[in-house]
């Protein structure tokens, strides 16, 4: 049997390009899944904080944040938001920067590790990004995070305890250390089979092509082992 392709994704739930990259990856995998010899793929998300110094309750909108932290004008910030909103729409996502509540994401990352331990990381990653970018939910607050965890079927009491006791903070830090070891300084970043690095929110077609290529490599390796 051919081994599944492993895709490790470093991302931040508050990164607009990460949600676009997530959706493009999913669409690319769906296209490849229609092949006669469909690639088998396992996806795992890893923590990366774009702005670890951001307060939980940031005062101002997303344009204010960009202007303050990127050293650009308000007009430039608005232009950037319009551009990413358009790219998101092409990926099937409706960004609502007018509702978005910018916040610190470390606890969201802790919750993702909690979800991973219970086999629910992928549903929670989707729920957190949707809540943040399309619904204006405050994903820096424990109550909101616990509610979102419960929405995907996780135990609310256990999720709250994990957040209050920082049960998974070491796992967040380990992910970030691995990112530094790989030289990752921006997200999304995709590591395929531990040997191919793909940076940025690539188009769905590109992801489909990559997994088909790597799946063919897996098949060749399996055939070689059988001959040996």
Q: What is the pLDDT of residues 101-117, one digit of tens each?
A: 999 999 999 999 999 99
For the range 82-88, what are the long-range contacts, defined as Cβ-Cβ under 8 Å and sequence gap of 24 or more?
Answer: 84/16, 84/17, 84/20, 87/20, 87/201, 88/16, 88/19, 88/20, 88/133
With a CB cutoff of 8 Å and minimum separation 6, the contacts of 159 are: 111, 114, 145, 146, 149, 150
Q: Provide the mean pLDDT of the chain.
A: 95
Say if CB 172 and CB 47 are below 8 A apart: yes
Each residue of 137-148: pLDDT tens digit? 999 999 999 999
Which stretch of 25-34, 176-185, 218-227 has the lowest confidence by average pLDDT?
218-227
Each residue of 151-179: pLDDT tens digit? 999 999 999 999 999 999 999 999 999 99
Domain count, the chain: 1
pLDDT at position 1 over 90: no
pLDDT at position 92 over 80: yes
CATH number at residue 46: 3.40.30.10
What are φ and ψ of residue 190, in 5° steps?
A: -115, 125
Longest dimension (CA), the chain: 64
Q: Which domain holds residue 23?
A: 5-227
What are φ and ψ of residue 188, in 5° steps?
A: -75, 150
Give the whole-angstrom CA distance, residue 117 versus residue 98. Answer: 34
Indicate yes or no: pTM above 0.75. Answer: yes
Q: How far is CA 29 from the centre of its chain?
A: 15
Question: What confidence tier does 76 reach under pLDDT thresholds 50, 70, 90?
Answer: very high
The kind and range of the H/E element at 190 are strand 189-192
């Amino acid at each position: 049997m051919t081994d599944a392709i492993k895709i490790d994704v470093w991302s931040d739930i508050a990164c607009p390009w990460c949600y676009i990259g997530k959706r493009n990856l999913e669409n690319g995998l769906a296209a490849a899944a229609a092949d006669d010899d469909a690639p088998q793929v396992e996806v795992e998300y890893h923590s990366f904080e774009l702005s670890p110094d951001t307060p939980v309750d940031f005062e101002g909108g997303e344009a204010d944040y960009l202007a303050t932290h990127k050293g650009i004008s308000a007009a430039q910030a608005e232009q950037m938001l319009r551009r990413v909103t358009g790219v998101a729409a092409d990926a099937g996502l409706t960004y609502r920067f007018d509702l978005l509540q910018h916040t610190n994401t470390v606890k969201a990352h802790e919750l993702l590790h909690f979800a991973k331990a219970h086999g629910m990381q992928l549903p929670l990653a989707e729920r957190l990004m949707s809540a943040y970018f399309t619904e204006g939910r405050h994903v820096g607050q424990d109550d909101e995070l616990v509610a979102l965890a419960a929405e995907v079927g996780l135990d609310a009491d256990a999720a709250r305890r994990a957040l209050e006791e920082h049960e998974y903070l070491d796992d967040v830090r380990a992910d970030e250390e691995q990112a530094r070891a790989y030289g990752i300084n921006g997200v999304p970043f995709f590591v395929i089979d531990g040997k191919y690095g793909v940076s940025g929110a690539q188009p769905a077609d590109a992801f489909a092509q990559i997994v088909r290529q790597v799946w063919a490599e897996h098949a060749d390796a399996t055939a070689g082992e059988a001959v040996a």
